[in-house]
Structure 1
């Protein structure tokens, strides 16, 4: 799975340009993408409905909580 990652922006609209931060984001998202792909493939091999699995994964991502909100 090849991810096309966007330019990352801070809440104030400025570009996140720190090379180390971008490297960490890239590594984290590649790892997450591979884990999601593996879980998706396993679910299909176990006979789960593809659309239901996709919908669940989308819902799970939309429910992530920001622990740093003020």
Structure 2
């Protein structure tokens, strides 16, 4: 995974599994893949984590702390 600017790029490869017995037809795809996702502007790119468990990739992208609004008092001159 590579976070770049506001894009998260994920690349990988599906590999063919070895199977015993007669295989008449294969429906599982193999080969390289690439997935790109746009990220919102307010994320902590350095804290992105990814885990792979049971064939499921989980990507966690923490949001940055939102800027707190502050009030500006207007005075007459």
Structure with a larger share of its residues in strand:
2
Structure with a larger share of its residues in helix:
1
TM-score, scaled relative to structure 2: 0.29
Structure number, greater radius of gyration: 2
TM-score, scaled relative to structure 1: 0.30
